[in-house]
């Protein structure tokens, strides 16, 4: 079978930090600043033969939704339900022991290829927000342990169900939660966190695909990056009122999944699988206050199908695999030159990756393995590896909090101690 997968003036980084609540949290998709990177230090630089200690393992249903962590609690979206019902199941677990504290289930009938939950939620000190496979945007109260409000963003904004379901994570900004409705009535939409009332709705930007909106700051201006249908429209949108700040239409991917990678200094990397390759944009603010966008380079030599590339010391580390390419992990500089790639040895398939303490944690889902890698433009350097997962197709992003690495496969969520004493 051929696989085809799917007025606020403070900076975005401060807004994300405010959502964390506790140092070391992983409160949203791709971590505190949505770069797949953690500021944690003191992590183990090698593992024993049996790998890092497994602190706990919790069974989960089929799916790919990554966990988020806030204030010692793990939140994850599952999918299942009793006989005769199909439900999304929102679970709260203890980070220390993996035991379920509470859960909320709601009916969400429907099925897609590679069925199951899809994406990470977003947590602040009071609420957690998720987007389910069938388009349900849900708000859960952490103290009350209940569903507060819910919207179906497909039905309310004229959206069409993507072939592999709704696969995006929400963004939190001030008193709002922002999602990509991407229907005939709106592109990005913001809702009040507390009651779910619409705060603003941005202009339509093409059909919904699989790219999550990303919160960033460019030239001192907070903005949410959104990718429209087929990757043909990429835009920066104001999180305060939904106005479009800039638009770029020079790149495309027939099935866009990987989010834009914001590299600082106005650099934005667009990347995708299925032959799309990558394009580096330079977004700048003009004297009149508007933004200009220029393309720094474009290459077919590097493309990331699912996961955001990691950025470390002016180099990008990319999972370069899809149905057409078997590049494994590759390293590319900021001119678009590929310095090395692992190919099929190791392959890494569509496994997730995370950067912390000058280390890359990366899953080879085809081998059910986890790798510890030293990022080095001179060549691929493995520090340790271990076969530790229960299933293949472990494509979820990773999460790290308090020295605990969380990995989801299709059967379980595991918590590994990657810090030790």
Distance CA 229, CA 234 (A): 9
Please state the rounded mean pLDDT for residues 164-175.
97
The pair of three-digit structure tokens given for residue 1, joined into one six-digit string = 């079978």
pTM as predicted: 0.94
For the cut 70, the answer to whether the pLDDT of residue 13 exceeds it is: no
- Inform me whether the pLDDT recorded for 388 exceeds 80: yes
d(CA 393, CA 397): 12
Q: Is the pLDDT confidence value at 10 over 80?
A: no
- Which stretch of 88-102, 109-123, 185-199 has the lowest confidence by average pLDDT? 109-123
Confidence of residue 420 (pLDDT cuts 50, 70, 90): confident
Q: Is residue 4 part of a domain?
A: no
User: Tens digits of per-residue pLDDT, 266-314?
Assistant: 999 999 999 999 999 999 998 778 999 999 999 999 999 999 999 999 9
What pLDDT score was predicted for residue 421?
A: 72
Instruction: Say which residues have a Cβ less than 8 Å from residue 328's Cβ, sequence separation at least 6.
Output: 319, 320, 321, 341, 342, 343, 344, 345, 346, 347, 348
Residue 3 pLDDT greater than 60, yes or no: no
Q: Are 189 and 178 in contact (CB under 8 A)?
A: yes
Write down the pLDDT at residue 7: 30
Q: Domain for residue 89, yes or no?
A: yes
CA distance 201 to 222: 17
Query: How do residues 197-255 score in pLDDT, each as one tens digit?
Result: 999 999 999 999 999 999 999 999 999 999 998 788 999 999 999 999 999 999 999 99
Rounded to an integer, the average pLDDT of 39-57 is 97
Find out whether 351 and 394 touch, Cβ atoms under 8 Å. yes
Average confidence score pLDDT of the chain? 93
- Residue 2 inside a domain? The answer is no
The number of folded domains in the chain is 1
The three-state secondary structure class of 75 is strand
Query: What angle is formed at CA 9 by the lines to CA 264 and CA 151, rounded to 5 degrees?
Result: 90
The residue segments making up the domain with residue 113 are 12-417
Phi, psi of 365 (to 5 degrees): -70, -30
Alpha carbons 116 and 411: distance in angstroms, whole number: 11
Distance set, CA 265 to CA 161, 268, 316 (Å): 36, 9, 15
> What CATH number should be reported for the domain holding residue 174?
2.140.10.10
């Amino acid at each position: 079978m051929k696989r085809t997968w799917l007025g606020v003036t403070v900076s975005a980084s401060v807004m994300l930090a405010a959502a964390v609540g506790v140092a070391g949290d992983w409160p949203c998709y791709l971590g505190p600043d949505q770069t797949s990177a953690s500021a944690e230090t003191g992590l183990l630089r090698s593992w024993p033969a049996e790998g890092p200690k497994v602190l706990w393992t919790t069974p989960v249903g089929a799916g790919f939704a990554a966990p988020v962590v806030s204030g010692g609690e793990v939140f994850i979206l599952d999918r299942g339900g009793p006989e005769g019902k199909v439900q999304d199941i929102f679970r709260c677990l203890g980070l220390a022991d993996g035991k379920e504290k509470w859960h909320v289930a709601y009916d969400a009938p429907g099925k897609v290829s590679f069925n199951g939950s899809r994406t990470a939620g977003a947590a602040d000190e009071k609420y957690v927000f998720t987007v389910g496979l069938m388009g349900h945007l849900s708000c859960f109260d952490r103290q009350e342990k209940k569903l507060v409000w819910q919207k179906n963003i497909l039905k309310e904004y004229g959206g069409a169900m993507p072939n592999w379901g709704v696969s995006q994570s929400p963004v939190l900004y001030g008193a709002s939660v922002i999602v990509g409705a991407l229907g005939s009535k709106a592109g990005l939409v913001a809702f009040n966190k507390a009651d779910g009332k619409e705060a603003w709705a941005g202009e339509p930007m093409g059909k919904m695909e699989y790219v999550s909106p990303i919160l960033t700051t460019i030239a001192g201006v907070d903005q949410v990056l959104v990718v429209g249908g087929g990757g043909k429209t990429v835009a920066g949108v104001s999180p305060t009122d939904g106005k479009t700040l800039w638009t770029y239409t020079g790149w495309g991917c027939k099935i866009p999944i990987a989010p834009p990678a914001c590299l600082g200094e106005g650099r934005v990397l667009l990347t995708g699988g299925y032959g799309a390759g990558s394009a580096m944009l330079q977004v700048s603010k003009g004297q009149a206050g508007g933004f200009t966008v220029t393309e720094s380079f474009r290459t077919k030599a590097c493309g990331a199908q699912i996961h955001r590339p990691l950025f470390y010391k002016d180099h990008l580390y990319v999972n370069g695999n899809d149905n057409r390419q078997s590049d494994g992990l590759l390293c590319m500089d900021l001119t678009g030159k590929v310095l090395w790639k692992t190919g099929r040895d190791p392959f890494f398939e569509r496994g997730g990756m995370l950067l912390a303490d000058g280390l890359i944690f990366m899953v080879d889902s085809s081998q059910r393995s986890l790798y510890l890698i030293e990022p080095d433009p001179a060549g691929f350097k493995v520090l340790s590896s271990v076969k530790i997962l229960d299933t293949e197709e472990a494509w979820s992003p990773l999460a790290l909090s308090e020295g605990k690495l969380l990995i989801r496969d299709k059967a379980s969520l595991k918590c590994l101690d990657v810090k030790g004493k």
